[in-house]
Every structure is written in C-alpha cells, then in structure tokens.
Amino acid sequence: MAEKTILTVDLYDNVLTEKAGDYSGKVSITGTVRNADIARRIIKERTEYRFETILNILELADQKKIEAIAEGKSLIDGVGQFLLNIIGSFEEAAVFNADKNKFGITFTPGKALLDALKLLVPNFRIAKTGPVINNITDSTTQSVSQTLTPNAPAIISGSGLLLKGDDSSVGVYFTPDGDNQTPVKASLIVSNTTSQIIIQIPALADGQYLLSITTQAGAGYSVVKEPRTYQLPILLTVGSDPGDDDRPVIE
C-alpha cells in the first residue's frame, strides 16, 4: 500500500467573512524542486546514468515540451495535460490586442498526480498572527503574481500587511532565486493598510524573485516582539530571463 504524506496546512482568519472562528487554509510549502533536484532523486534510485546526463535530458525535455505547446499541440506527460488558451473577448473582425488579450495555459492534472493527491493527509495548525500575501499586481502591465516592472508601482494584497515595528528587518523584500542570495528591500512604500501595500518596485535586474514581507504588527494593531515573515511561494519574473511579459499563464 502506498505511503501517505502528511503536509502542514496553516489556518488563517478568513478575510472574506466576518464569522468568528472561520479560517482559510494555506499549504505550508516545504521547498523548491528543480531539474537538478529531480536528477539527484533519480540518482538515488541507483540508475546507471550520470547526474549530468539526466539533467541534460530533463532540460531538453522541458525545451521540447515548451516548443510543442507553443505550436498549439496538446501536451500530455506524466504530470498532466497542457493546452493553449487565449484570454479576452473579440469582435467579429478579430484583432489581437495585447492590452486585452493574452495566450495562457490550461493545465489538467493526470491520473498519477491525482492518485498522489489522494495520499496527502493535512496536519492543521492555527497560524501565528502575521502577514499573508495573496498576490502582487504590477500596475504597469496589470500582471498578477507573474511579472514585475522595475522602478514602477505594484499593489500587494493579503492580510496582516501593516508594516509596524522598529526592527530593521521590517519591510518588503524581493529575493533573487537561488541559494544564499541577498534580498532587495523596497525603499518606497506609497501606502500601507492591513490588507494592501502599494510600493515602488526596486531597480531589479533581469531574473526571478521571491516576494516577502516582514512586520512586527500583531492583532488589533499591536506590536509583537519578534518580526514575522511571509514569503509568497511564486517566482516573479523581471525582464526576459528566463521568461518575458508574454509568458503563458497556468490556470
């Protein structure tokens, strides 16, 4: 019988309802896995292939899958099915308008993934009062939790976002993807409430970043002793490396 996996689910006050004791859950993300990590997992299975060979095959497979999807093919792999879609409305004399229309991706999980989800067991815990990021909207492109425009405004939505406290760590940060990277702190906060922060995005170099917020704000506008941090577990892209503003969106 397949072994079950226990995952922690943090319970936060549901901001969509005023009902006392009503919570929404967020799965506690346990890390990030990339092709190199997949290759190492395969190596542990005592395969005869070298790490470099496996990694090269995985990266080639990614490239060919992207090419196939961009050609309008229905891609089915061991994870699920990927299909192109197009977002926005059109008139009879259809003209593609990049401000209103965009290509995206519809993803349908495959049987193996659905079977794996059946083996997950939630371990619920009440989350400490602290910041929770739901999304970030780039005001220039209206991109939601996808791309960032350096030196331009952005809106961060969530709960417990009030930036309070004297600790030097309090603030909004963009950390480059990778190990031992130095976070870049947003120097300009345009406005700030418990549910929203409007910032000027720092002058970030091309690449991918993780957004995080650190605050000492507690319940009822109180200030707690230890700073609390929440990191949005979605990679945000600046520039054309590794993606651009027109990269597909998984829905």
Token pair 């939505």 is found at 157
- CA distances to 50, 51, 61, 94, 145 from 56, rounded to whole Å, are 10, 9, 9, 42, 29
Task: Give the pLDDT mean for 53-66.
Answer: 96
- CA–CA dist 127, 42 (Å, integer): 35
More confident residue, 17 or 245: 17
Neighbours of 244 (CB within 10 A): 12
Tens digit of each residue's pLDDT (9 = 90 or more) over 12-46: 777 666 666 788 888 888 888 889 999 999 999 88
The model's pTM = 0.72
Query: Domains plus CATH for the chain?
Result: 128-236 (2.70.50.70)
Token pair 């002793």 is found at 225
**pLDDT of res. 11:** 85
Task: Give the pLDDT mean for 129-136.
Answer: 86
For residue 222 the two structure tokens come to 């109180």
Tens digit of each residue's pLDDT (9 = 90 or more) over 170-229: 999 999 998 889 999 999 999 999 899 999 999 999 999 999 999 998 776 788 888 999
Length of the chain: 251
Task: Give the pLDDT mean for 124-135.
Answer: 82
Asked whether the predicted pLDDT for residue 246 surpasses 70, the reply is no
